[in-house]
Amino acid sequence: MQRKFWPLALAAGVSITAACSEMGVSADTGVRDVRTPPEDTGVPVTPTDTGVDTGADSGVAEDVPTTPSDVPTTADSGVCRGNGDCDDMNPCTENLCDTMTGACAYRTIVGCCMRAADCDDSNTCTTDTCDMTSRRCTNNLRAGCCTNDGECNDSLVCTRDRCDTMTNRCVNTMDPTCCTTGQTRPCYTGPMGTRDVGACRGGTESCVGNAWSGTCVGQTLPAASETCDGPRVDENCNGMQNEGCSCAAGMTRPCYTGPTGTQDVGRCRAGTQSCSGGTWGACTGQTLPGTEVCGNMMDEDCSGMDLACPPANDRREAAIPLVFTHRELVVTGTTVGATNDGPTVPCACTSGANVWYRFTLPTRSAVYIDTSSTTATDMLDTSLYLTNMAGTAVPAQPENGQSSLGLCNDDSGCGGVTGWGSTLQSRTWGTLAAGTYFLAVGGCGQGTFTLRFQHIPDTEGSFFYSTRITGDSSSQTFLIGTNRHSSHCGGTISGEDVRWFVTCGGARQFFSLCEGDGGGYLSRATNTETRRWDPVLYIHSGVTGIESACSDTGAAGIDCRGRIGTSLSSTVFDTVQGGARFSMASTSRGINAILVDERARGSGMDYKLRWRLLDR
């Protein structure tokens, strides 16, 4: 708002000082260039009359008496003598002095402002500012601002234009009912779900005068009913052709009366039906499934494959005998065309087609069987299990790592090891008493396989341990019996102890009779004895059936001295480093045995065998 200043009107003969005192206001008049009359000396003062008001004179007009007693000042007269005496300190007023009356007047300067509020032009779309230097208002329009719908016309026919009074912004939205003359669009006025079904098709709607015509040209709508006298067409667009019609004369259609899933499989083919008298005739020319003949490379029963003639050993009663010697026996076989027979065992892939083998053990033996092969055609996902002579699955042997009935196995776990083509190939093992056994080779699916059989009889040494050794462990005992086996390192006097283990192949094993490794042996009973026991170790391979390595010495830096005394609890050690040791013995796939023997004094040597075994 504009500040307003009102001039002070004084009564004649009343000084400003007197007036202000009476109002309780200071005598400061705010009049510029106010002079105090000089001290009264009693001598008249005559001013120099130049005719020009320099601002340095007394401010009294020339015709005003100049004697000190006659010259009133603005301070005590309350009148103005020039515009400068009327400054109301308001930059937006013009200060005027009426020299005739001596009264101040203040005239508002048009367009002058003191603050932004003085510049309000009542337009919501302008930004109102006051320039404090020029004291002039500026009212700038804000971009995009509107005050009415007329300001929002975008000159487009198909938009609805309005001014949002909340935001003072234009909103231009498309009119969905508007279009451009000459424009077309697809249309269809038939029931929902019938367009492009059967004979029904959409048409085209045109834009006339910026509005859609409402006429759908070229569309085909559903007929009231089907016609039966022409080609098979779905005139009522319900997804069915000629419903209610049997057929029309001259029509034909393919037909097949065989089992579902057999048409166009093998030799089976569809035939043709013809319409006669409004009804369909018989299916002629079709080929239906027949009786399959095995091995003739034809699919007569339309099952998708030619029936292979079953292998000769498809049934357990026709099992192929395995005749083996001391080394690994290798045979090839197939389950293609085979059926399934035998007891139920808990391993996977044992309920599919299987074939049978039988073997006879003349003595108790550790037996190992696998289907390892890298031949491309031998990638069948095999399974193995064993039965006795009566066809009953052999008992599980958890002490040998075989917790399943029939010692069954599906996957070997040897995939990636040299000699194995897939982890889906199988292996099994166990200790079997003398007798005849049957081996079932099956799998998930059908295919060819390679079967490998190994065994170590209990006659390999004087004492045979029937339980497999594994992991990191040791065993303490003594040698008994007479010699049954000798090695390249000697050992023709004492009986031998035989322990067996299995491996995927390629792993290196550790065995030791040295004190420094946690093993040991008894060298002699007393210091006075001159004969010492001299232990030897050797490894027997199930692949070759013979010794694969032997050792009668320890290793540099390893304490391999024997103890002197009557037992391994003695704390007296011999001076001779006579212990035997394998630190990195390479062992073959399948079953292997470690034999402890003695080559100097014969049976009776106390010993402790330490081992660390790896499967792969």
Q: pLDDT, tens digit, for every residue of 76-117?
A: 456 898 988 998 888 899 899 998 999 999 898 988 998 888
Query: Token pair of 24, please?
Result: 């309780």
Secondary structure tally for the chain: helices H, strands E: 2, 32
Rounded (5°) CA angle 600-606-608? 115
Q: What is the C-alpha to C-alpha distance for residues 89 and 85, in angstroms, rounded to an integer? A: 11
Helix, strand, or coil (residue 355) = strand
- Look over the chain and give the mean of its residue pLDDT values, rounded to a whole number: 86
State the DSSP H helix or E strand holding residue 23, giving kind and residue range, or none if neither.
helix 16-23
Query: Token pair of 136, please?
Result: 């002039």
Q: Which residue has the tokens 């500026």?
A: 138
Chain centre distance of CA 216:
51
Whether 40 has a pLDDT exceeding 80, the answer reads no
Q: Classify burial at 442, counting beta carbons within 10 Å of its beta carbon; exposed 0-12, middle 13-18, buried 19 or more.
A: buried
Tell me the average pLDDT across 265-275: 94
Query: Token pair of 324, please?
Result: 């083996």
Is the domain spanning 316-457 CATH 2.60.120.380? The answer is yes
Reference 597, options 466, 489, 524, 510; nearest CA is: 489
Distances from the Cα of 402 to the Cαs of 71, 179, 342, 409, 474, in angstroms? Answer: 141, 83, 20, 9, 21
Distances from the Cα of 31 to the Cαs of 56, 85, 99, 103, 537, in angstroms? Answer: 15, 4, 14, 12, 133
Minimum mean pLDDT range among 2-11, 318-327, 384-393, 547-556: 2-11
Q: Where are the domains of the chain?
A: 249-303, 316-457, 461-612
Q: Is the dihedral of CA 254, 258, 259, 262 positive or negative?
A: negative
Helix, strand, or coil (residue 464) = strand
pLDDT at 479: 96
pLDDT over 90 percentage in the chain? 64
Minimum mean pLDDT range among 16-25, 220-229, 242-251, 368-377: 16-25
Q: Which residues contact 615 (CB under 8 A, 6 or more apart)?
A: 413, 502, 503, 504, 507
pLDDT at 60: 38
Q: Domain 461-612 adopts which CATH fold? A: Jelly Rolls (2.60.120)
Residues in the chain: 616
| Contact (Cβ atoms closer than 8 angstroms) between residue 564 and residue 573 | yes
Distances from the Cα of 94 to the Cαs of 81, 138, 510, in angstroms? Answer: 16, 22, 118
Query: Token pair of 500, please?
Result: 């067996």
Query: Do the first three CATH levels of 316-457 and 461-612 match, i.e. the same topology?
Result: yes
pLDDT at 308: 79
pLDDT band at residue 229 using 50, 70 and 90 as cut-offs = low
pLDDT at 524: 96
Q: What is the C-alpha to C-alpha distance for residues 507 and 588, in angstroms, rounded to an integer? A: 8
